């Protein structure tokens, strides 16, 4: 449980709020490369931390991220013409480069204004299908991180995005909550439950998405702090308990986590668009096989147009989220939803845009969620004390990786997590 004040501290991300200030110290994904497919194509508006930005791809393919309002008199640059190395406001024709240089002012021939004024644009990096930006204080720009997925060849990588109308912490907490996986996602993780009733089972999804130890619904959780945040393991008994399945999940500031699947791993960023909306960027990468985006969308339940459109989860409570009650009754479906992301999104949405955690009742199974809040609060304290928030200076995050393996029950999983504790040791004071 959190007090209402603590809850506000952790969830509000607007400019000037404690969390908004901390978040602004990091780089964030703001769009998929696929959202700006063409040079000189239409600009787009995207929200980040409660602010609106216009993104465009210029003639040379470079991406610009700028304040939405035109520097001159505030028309939206999203209406602009993207042409010949810049974006031109349609109101009076002022034209800007991706770096904010004022290139042309057709209604004001005096060239001095071009030297004097510069549009508010932000540093951009495009990597592995994501467009990243940094909107914090200029003099404090941290190194741009590399993740393990950045090392995968393009055909073994795929990126997608889901906007959900829920505060980022709700969405992130679902990703640090091991015990829901074997319950909410029963269709995929405990197919035995379905098979017993003779239901159709998506064998491919099961093989692709989960390991074989999910029938233990009360996994033992163990946690360890690291310099990037923490990692936790869910330990599940296999058969007679001589062997256990251990699944390690790294959780890293300011909104990241990594989920291991048998043949690939997902790196997920739950980026706050504003207090009430989250853009979840998911990058899958594999060491062993090619990855097809369409397959991921199907597994996630995002090919159904009632649920997903324009990168946004659109089912709402007005339609009962299209929950399939007949399938639930007949035990063809646990949740009445199809696919992991449908299930996760619906429960996050159902909590209301910003859940008030003074109303919850935590149990031991929620240890990962509690740790997340503790680490986030610690990072916030560092930031408020004038220090760098947690993990800010890590440039190389490529060794941050989870695992999913079966071990003799007597063996310590920590041996296999040494990369984390040695390369990214917990902060000391």
* Region from 63-71, 198-206, 211-219, 344-352 binding Fe ion, contact rule CB under 5 A: 344-352
In DSSP terms, 407 is beta-bridged to: 244
Q: What angle do CA 220, 263, 243 make, to 5 degrees?
A: 35
Q: Smallest distance from the beta carbon of 343 to Fe ion, in angstroms?
A: 6
> Which of 117, 328 has the CB closer to ligand FES?
117
Residue 414 partner contact from Fe ion, ligand FES, none using kind-dependent CB cut-offs of 5 to 8 Å: none
User: Which residue, 96 or 307, has its beta carbon nearer to ligand FES?
Assistant: 96
CB of 347 to Fe ion, least distance (A): 8
Closest distance of CB 176 from Fe ion, Å: 10
User: Judged by CB under 5 A, which stretch of 121-129, 159-167, 278-286, 341-349 contacts Fe ion?
Assistant: 341-349
Contact flag: residue 177 with Fe ion (CB under 5 A): no
Task: Dump the DSSP string for 336-385.
Answer: S--SHHHHHHHHHHHT-SS--GGG----GGGHHHHHHHHHHHHHHHHHHT
Asked if 220 is part of the footprint of ligand FES (rule: CB under 6 A), the reply reads no
Closer Cβ to Fe ion, 178 or 379, answer by number:
178
Q: Of 68 and 173, which has the nearer Cβ to Fe ion?
A: 173
Q: Is 344 in the site for Fe ion (CB under 5 A)?
A: yes
> Among ligand FES, Fe ion, none, what binds residue 344 when CB lies within 5 to 8 Å by partner kind?
Fe ion
Nearer to ligand FES, 91 or 416 (CB): 91
How many helices and strands (H and E) does the chain possess? 12, 22
Distance CA 121, CA 131 (A): 14
- Cα separation, 7 vs 353, in Å, equals 13
Residue 117 or 423 with smaller CB distance to ligand FES: 117
- Beta carbon nearer to Fe ion, 40 or 343: 343
Could you say which residues in the range 93-132 bind ligand FES, by CB under 6 A? 93-94
Q: Which is nearer to ligand FES, 74 or 198 (CB)?
A: 74
| Per-residue contact flags (x/-) with ligand FES for residues 31 to 70, judged by CB under 6 A | ---------------------------------------x
Question: Applying CB under 6 A, does 72 fall inside the site for ligand FES?
Answer: yes
CB of 253 vs ligand FES, minimal distance in Å:
37
Contact between 173 and Fe ion per CB under 5 A: no
Q: How many residues bind ligand FES (CB under 6 A)?
A: 10
Phi then psi dihedrals of residue 257, to 5 deg: -160, 165
C-alpha separations of 268 from 2, 15, 48, 130, 191 in Å: 25, 24, 16, 12, 25
Stretch that binds ligand FES, among 17-25, 84-92, 279-287, 403-411 (CB under 6 A): 84-92
Options 149-157, 317-325, 338-346, 370-378: segment touching Fe ion (CB under 5 A) = 338-346
Question: Which residues share a beta bridge with 101?
Answer: 118
Contact 420, 226 (CB under 8 A): yes
Query: Least CB distance from residue 93 to ligand FES, whole Å?
Result: 6
From the list Fe ion, ligand FES, none, partner contacted by residue 98 (C-beta under 5 to 8 A by kind): none
What is the CA 152 to chain-centroid distance, rounded? 19
Least spacing, CB of residue 90 vs ligand FES, in Å: 8
Question: What's the CA angle centered on 128, arms 125 and 129, to 5 degrees?
Answer: 85
Angle (nearest 5°) at CA 218 between 214 and 224: 95
8 A C-beta contact, residue 353 and residue 317: no
Rounded Cα gap, residues 98 and 87, in angstroms: 8
Could you tell me which stretch among 47-55, 89-97, 292-300, 420-428 binds ligand FES (CB under 6 A)? 89-97
270 in contact with Fe ion (CB under 5 A): no
Element (H, E) at 272: strand 265-274
Question: Taking a C-beta distance cutoff of 8 angstroms, is the pair 167, 355 a contact?
Answer: yes
Q: At a CB cut-off of 8 Å and minimum separation 6, what does 332 contact?
A: 194, 197, 199, 200
Q: Which of 165, 163, 159 is nearest to 45 (CA)?
A: 163
Q: What is the nearest approach in angstroms of Fe ion to the Cβ of residue 309? A: 21
For 50, residues 6+ apart whose C-beta sits below 8 A from its C-beta are 13, 14, 15, 20, 272, 273, 274, 275
Give the integer Cα–Cα distance in Å for 150 and 133: 17
- Choose from Fe ion, ligand FES, none: what does 75 bind? Cβ within 5-8 Å by kind: ligand FES
Asked if 199 touches ligand FES (CB under 6 A), the answer is no
Q: Give the interface with ligand FES as residue ranges (CB under 6 A).
A: 70, 72-75, 89, 91-94
Q: Give the interface with Fe ion as residue ranges (CB under 5 A).
A: 344
């Amino acid at each position: 449980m959190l007090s209402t004040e603590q809850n506000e501290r952790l969830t509000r991300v607007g400019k000037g709020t404690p969390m908004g200030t901390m978040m602004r110290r990091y780089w964030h994904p703001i769009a998929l490369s696929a959202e700006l497919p063409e040079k000189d194509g239409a600009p787009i508006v995207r929200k980040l931390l409660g602010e609106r930005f216009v993104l465009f791809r210029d003639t040379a393919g470079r991406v610009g991220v700028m304040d939405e309002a035109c520097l001159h008199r505030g028309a939206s640059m999203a209406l602009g013409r993207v042409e010949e190395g810049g974006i031109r406001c349609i109101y009076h024709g002022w034209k800007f480069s991706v770096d904010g240089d004022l290139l042309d002012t057709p209604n004001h021939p005096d060239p001095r204004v071009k030297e004097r004024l510069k549009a508010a644009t932000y540093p951009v990096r495009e990597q592995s299908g994501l467009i990243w930006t940094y909107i914090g204080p200029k003099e404090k720009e941290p190194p741009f991180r590399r993740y393990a997925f950045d090392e995968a060849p393009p055909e073994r990588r795929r990126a997608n995005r889901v906007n959900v109308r829920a505060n980022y912490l709700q969405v992130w907490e679902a990703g640090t909550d091991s015990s829901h996986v074997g319950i909410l996602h029963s269709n995929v993780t405990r197919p035995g439950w379905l098979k017993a009733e003779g239901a159709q089972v998506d064998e491919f999804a099961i093989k692709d998405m989960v390991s074989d130890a999910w029938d233990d619904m009360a996994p033992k959780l163990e946690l360890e702090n690291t310099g990037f945040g923490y990692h936790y393991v869910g330990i599940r008994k296999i058969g007679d308990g001589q062997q256990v399945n251990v699944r390690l999940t790294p959780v890293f500031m300011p909104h990241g986590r990594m989920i291991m699947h048998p043949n690939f791993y997902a790196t997920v960023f739950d980026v706050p668009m504003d207090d009430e909306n989250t853009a979840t960027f998911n990058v899958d990468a594999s060491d062993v096989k090619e990855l097809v985006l369409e397959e991921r969308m199907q597994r996630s339940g995002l090919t159904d147009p009632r649920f997903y459109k324009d990168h946004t989860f659109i089912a709402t409570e007005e339609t009962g989220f299209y929950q399939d009650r007949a399938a639930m009754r007949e035990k063809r479906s646990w949740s009445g939803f199809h696919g992991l992301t449908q299930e996760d999104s619906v429960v996050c949405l159902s909590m209301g845009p910003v859940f008030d955690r003074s109303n919850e009742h935590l149990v031991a199974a929620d240890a990962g969620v509690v740790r997340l809040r503790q680490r986030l609060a610690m990072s916030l304290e560092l930031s408020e004390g004038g220090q760098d928030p947690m993990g800010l200076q890590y440039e190389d995050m490529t060794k941050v990786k989870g695992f999913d393996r079966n071990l003799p029950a007597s063996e310590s999983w920590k041996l296999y997590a040494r990369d984390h504790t040695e390369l990214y040791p917990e902060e000391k004071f």
